[in-house]
């Protein structure tokens, strides 16, 4: 049996016969412990050898020249004034900009599962039982999804399920 390493996992470098951990904050490094790729939340040091921690909370990648400015936030967070990373609005999985003071400036680029992108925000569809990505595909008893899947329409009285042409309401009763 051979106890010598031939390759190492990410975060380690090969110094035969062993795998040695890379310096803190380093995702990939070479045999000289020089970091070639930083972990999320870190950036290359000025000398390009190590990785320094971004000082912006929830930041994935900070500015090359300033560890206090975030370029890319972690998932579920968006930039605010290009500096801080704040939580995306409710129902939003990825957002481009977050401004708690002015909700009209919030820009969601991807909704969470079971949320629908409606009127510029990610909202749950009332009475929706099943979602297909960001559209409601099945509603609770007594409701039917609209063609766009953006709302559940109430069936006529007494109907448990409905589709098109029901009692003059445009819905079919079941």
For 30, phi then psi, to 5°, come to -100, -175
Number of separate domains in the chain: 3
Whether the per-residue pLDDT at 27 is higher than 80: the answer is yes
Residues 143 and 105 in one domain: no
Query: Percent of the chain, pLDDT > 90?
Result: 1
Residues 71 and 113 in one domain: yes
The partner residues of 143 in beta bridges, in order of sequence, read 154
- Domain that residue 20 falls in: 1-53
Collapsing DSSP to helix, strand or coil, 127 comes out as: coil
Whether the per-residue pLDDT at 23 is higher than 60: the answer is yes
User: Measuring CA to CA, which residue among 136, 142, 144 is closest to residue 163?
Assistant: 144
CA–CA gap between residue 98 and residue 58 (Å, rounded): 13
* Residue that the structure tokens 């925000």 belong to: 121
> pTM for the complete prediction?
0.56
Higher pLDDT, 105 or 40: 40
Residues 118 and 70 in one domain: yes
Considering 84, 105, 124, which residue would you say is the last residue of a domain?
124
Number of neighbours of residue 4 by Cβ within 10 angstroms: 8
CA–CA gap between residue 7 and residue 152 (Å, rounded): 55
Per-residue pLDDT reduced to its tens digit, 94-147: 887 666 555 555 678 788 877 777 666 788 888 888 877 767 888 888 888 888
Residues 75 and 119 in one domain: yes
Residues 76 and 135 in one domain: no
Most distant CA atoms of the chain, gap in Å: 80
What pLDDT, on a 0 to 100 scale, did the predictor assign at position 168? Answer: 42
């Amino acid at each position: 049996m051979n106890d010598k390493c031939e390759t190492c996992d990410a975060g380690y470098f090969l110094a035969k016969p062993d795998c040695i951990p890379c310096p803190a904050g380093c995702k990939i490094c070479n045999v000289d412990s020089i970091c070639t790729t930083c972990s999320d939340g870190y950036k290359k040091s000025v000398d390009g050898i190590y990785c320094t921690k971004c000082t912006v909370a929830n930041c994935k990648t900070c500015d090359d020249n300033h560890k206090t400015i975030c370029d890319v936030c972690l998932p579920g967070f968006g930039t605010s004034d290009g500096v801080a990373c704040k939580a995306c609005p409710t129902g939003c999985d990825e957002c481009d900009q977050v401004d708690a003071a002015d909700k009209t400036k919030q820009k969601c680029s991807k909704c969470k599962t079971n949320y629908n992108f409606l009127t510029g925000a990610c909202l749950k569809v009332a009475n929706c039982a099943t979602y297909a990505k960001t559209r409601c595909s099945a509603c609770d008893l007594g409701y039917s999804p609209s063609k766009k899947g953006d709302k559940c329409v109430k069936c006529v009285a007494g109907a448990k399920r409905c589709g098109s042409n029901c009692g003059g309401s445009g819905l079919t009763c079941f």
